[in-house]
Amino acid sequence: MAAIELRRAAAVPVAPRLERRLGRLPLHLVIVVICALWLLPSVGLLVSSFRPPQLVATTGWWTAFHPPFEFTLQNYRQVLSTYNMGTSFVNSLLIAVPATVIPLLIAAYAAYAFAWMRFPGRQGLFLVVVGLLVVPLQTTFIPVLHLFVQLGLAGTFLGIWLAHTGYGLPLAIYLLRNFIGELPKDMFESALIDGAGHWTMFFRLVLPTSVAALASLAIFQFLWVWNDLLVALIYLGGQPSVAPVTVTISNLTNSLGQGWQLLTAAAFISMALPLAVFFGLQRYFASGLLAGSVKG
């Protein structure tokens, strides 16, 4: 299926004319300003994570760049040596990877059916799925946990994979249905003429052409599951043997809020992996869906 890998035409090979450069100055300016604004809160956190807590409480983080330069690795040292931190990292991965993979494929099946198959009740059913996006998770906890207890799923990894799958599906189906629905009809028609069935069309046409959408969805779902605290506490419990990173981190502070300075370092430690995933998937975002398609 090399045909799909048509590249986009190289982006605007700019003639290096001064006029053009000056014209692009506002563009760079706007981007840089937005990026700076977006980065600012995180920089505050990052700098603070390397400062002694008494200083963080009494002076702004920017004063760290004036003498005396007082920095410390204490927060990181303490977080990394926290009891159970390593196990909970493994637990988080064990929760997040299946809880990302399962809904992704299931949603792709459903989205394909919604977008390219005709059946009675299709639009109505799809709207129900979208409408369920608005259901606040907390209203589902008691009935679902009740069910889990009866099925013996409470406190198991299988239980939490299923729960995250259920909660993640409406958004996944909605997003994918939109992307898959945008694919050109001709692509399917010519495949049909070649005698391809739905299986072939889905795995050989739809999946490869939806890589960007699947990659964005994967990163979102992964992040939500990775950062989830409440669903884990309800269905899995916070016992050390199963606790994900979020649970271990939230227990760094005591019931009166002491130890909050550790949260600064913990934030970066727990962000590291999802950001790596984002960078890893970056090239899929950039690759075009369908270049030179029939659409224009």
Partner 1 sequence: MDRLWLAAAVVAGIPLLLVGYITLAEGAVSRLPGRGSGWIRPWLWLAPGLFFITVFLIYPTVGTLRLSFLGPDSTRPVGLANYVFVFTDKSMLVALRNNGLWLVLFTLLTVGLGLLVAVLTDRVRYEAAAKSLVFLPMAVSFTAASVIWKFMFDYRPPGTPQTGTLNAVLSLIPGFQPRAWLINPPLNNVFLIVAAVWVWTGFCMVILSAALKGIPSEVQEAARVDGATEWQLFWRITFPLLGSTVAVAITIMVVFALKTFDVVYVMTNGNYDTQNTAFAQYEQLFVNHDFGHAAAIGVVLLIAILPVLAFNLRRFQQQESTR
Partner 2 sequence: MDFQRRWPSFGAMAACILVLAACGGGAAAPSTSPGAAAPGTSASAGAAGSPAASTAQRIGGSVSVIGSWGGSEQDSFMAMVQPFMDQTGVQVQYEGSRDLNSILSTRVQAGNPPDLAGLPGPGVMRQFGQSGKLVDLSNILDLNQMKAEYAPDWLTLGTVNGKLVGIFIKTALKSAVWYDPKNFTQVAGSTPKTWNDLMTVSNNIAAGGKAPWCIGLESAATSGWPGTDWISDIMMRSAGPDKYRQWYDGQLAWTSPEVKDAWQMWGQIVANPKMVYGGVQYVLTTSFGTAASPMFANPPGCYMDRQGNFITDFYTSNNPGVKAGTDFNFFPFPDINSQYGDVDQVAGDLFGMFKDTPQSRALIKYLVTPQAQAIWVKRGGALSPNKQVPAGDYPDQLSKELAQTVVNAKTPLFSAGDMMPDAMQKAFYKAVLSYVQNPAQMDSILAGLDQTRQSAYPKQS
Lookup: tokens for 293: 């398609």
DSSP-assigned states of every residue in 118-148: --TTHHHHHHHHHHGGGS-THHHHHHHHHHH
CB of 64 to partner 2, least distance (A): 17
Radius of gyration of the chain (CA): 24
- Sequence-distant (≥ 6) Cβ neighbours of residue 167 within 8 angstroms: 137, 140, 231
The least CB distance from residue 88 to partner 2, in Å, is: 12
- CA dist 288 and 211 (Å) reads 9
In whole angstroms, the minimum distance from the beta carbon of 49 to partner 1 comes to 9
The partner in contact with residue 96, picked from partner 2, partner 1, none with C-beta cut-offs of 5 to 8 angstroms by kind, is none
Q: Closer CB to partner 2, residue 240 or residue 292?
A: 240
180 binds, among partner 1, partner 2, none (CB under 5 to 8 A by kind): none
From partner 1, partner 2, none, interface partner of 148 (C-beta below 5 to 8 A by class): partner 2
**223 contact choice in partner 2, partner 1, none (CB below 5 to 8 Å, kind-dependent):** partner 1
What are the start-end ranges of the H helices in 152-286? 157-182, 185-193, 198-200, 207-209, 211-227, 230-231, 245-250, 261-286
CB of 251 vs partner 2, minimal distance in Å: 4
State the Cα–Cα distance between residues 44 and 112, nearest whole angstrom. Answer: 44
Q: Least distance from C-beta 19 to partner 1, angstroms?
A: 14
Contacting positions for partner 2 (CB under 8 A): 53-54, 57-58, 83, 98, 138, 141-143, 145-146, 148-149, 152-159, 161, 199-200, 230, 233-234, 236-243, 247, 250-259, 262
Q: Is the Cβ of residue 132 or residue 145 nearer to partner 2 in the bound state?
A: 145
Q: In this structure, are residues 89 and 271 in contact, taking their beta carbons and an 8 Å threshold?
A: no
